[in-house]
Amino acid sequence: MKKMKSKNKEINISKFFNSKKMNKKAQFYIFTAILLSAYAFTIYANSRVIANEPSKTFKELKDNYLIEGEKVPNNAIYTNKEIENQFENFTAEFRDYAKTKNINLGIFYILINNDNIFLMNHLDSSASITTTQTYNLEINQNTTIPTTNIIILNYNNINYAFEVSSEQYQINSLLVAKKAQDIAIFVNN
């Protein structure tokens, strides 16, 4: 039998665990309480990680799309290719890349090329554009409209305004990133 001395008192450890005070029922309750506490902490810790992780990924995707997208018109001009087709190919490849990160990336972009404005809807539902007229674009539909100063995009009953500058080439976009229950919307104007 092991004995411990503590401030002039002897405590018999084996008697403590074998005493009637600490029977098997009490041991079961303590063990269950410890397990439930550990389980609750694990769920809480993981939920915070999951909630924070996608927003960082969404932001990185948005930044990559904007940075790389700016290079597409210059590259198309340099290689004598149509800017609209090159940008559409870039956007399709970028959406495929987002899928490798388990993110459903919807994009509506406005590509201004001299006197024309090219609109493309890669969102998960239809969208409408209002200038001097209203244009409805279904999923994966595009159209070209004449130049205007302001474009109002209506998506899911929310209006997003885009100003058209005097730059020869300009790209504006609405990105909607979804991963499980997390959604992030980015407006590039």
As a whole-number percent, the residues of the chain with pLDDT over 70 amount to 79
pLDDT number for residue 36: 76
Q: Which tokens belong to 72?
A: 């597409």
Instruction: Work out the percent of the chain whose per-residue pLDDT is above 90.
Output: 48
Structure tokens at 70: 């700016």
User: What is residue 52's predicted lDDT score, i.e. its pLDDT?
Assistant: 41
Cα–Cα distance measured from residue 175 to residue 103, given in angstroms and rounded to the nearest whole number: 12
What is the secondary structure of 55-72 as a DSSP string?
Answer: HHHHHHHHHHHHHHHHHH
Predicted pLDDT of residue 53: 44
Residue 48 has pLDDT above 50, yes or no: no
Q: 114: phi > 0 → left, psi -120 to 50 → alpha, else beta; which?
A: left
Tens of pLDDT, residue by residue over 146-167, are: 988 899 999 999 999 999 888 8
Instruction: Give the pLDDT band of residue 142 (cuts 50, 70, 90).
Output: very high
Average pLDDT along the chain:
82
> What is the three-class DSSP state of 54?
helix
Average pLDDT over residues 84-102: 93
Domain coordinates of the chain in residue numbers? Answer: 52-188
Q: What is the pLDDT of residue 24?
A: 73
pLDDT score, position 8: 54
pLDDT tens track for 105-135: 999 999 998 778 999 999 999 999 999 899 9
**Where residue 28 falls among pLDDT bands split at 50, 70, 90?**
confident
Tokens (6 digits) for 1: 């039998």
pLDDT band (50, 70, 90) for residue 29 = confident
Q: What is the Cα–Cα distance from 4 to 60, expressed in whole angstroms?
A: 59
